């Protein structure tokens, strides 16, 4: 696995239990959970923006709650 410069959320005061983000050399964005760092998700910047906007706009709210 390549080495990335991971950035942790500033909302995590002790640096744990957060989402980490890194920019890959190919321009994709890499995401991982600090509790399970071996699992890495890759997305284009545009796809990540669409996802974040959908979550923020409520489009992905659970139908069960």
Helix (H), strand (E) at residue 7: strand 7-8
pLDDT at residue number 22:
96
Is the Cβ–Cβ distance between 29 and 42 less than 8 Å? yes
Determine the Cα–Cα distance for residues 6 and 1; give it in Å rounded to an integer: 13
Closest by Cα among 21, 27, 22 to 46 = 27
pLDDT above 90 (res 61): no
Domain ranges of the chain: 7-56
Tens-place pLDDT, residues 13-44: 666 678 899 999 999 999 999 889 899 999 99
Is the Cβ–Cβ distance between 21 and 30 less than 8 Å? yes
């Amino acid at each position: 696995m390549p080495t990335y410069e991971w950035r942790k959320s500033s909302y995590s005061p002790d640096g744990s239990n957060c989402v980490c983000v890194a920019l890959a050399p190919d321009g994709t964005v890499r995401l991982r959970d600090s509790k399970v760092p071996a699992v890495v998700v890759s997305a284009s910047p545009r796809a990540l923006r669409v996802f974040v906007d959908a979550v923020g706009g409520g489009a992905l709210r659970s139908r069960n709650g």
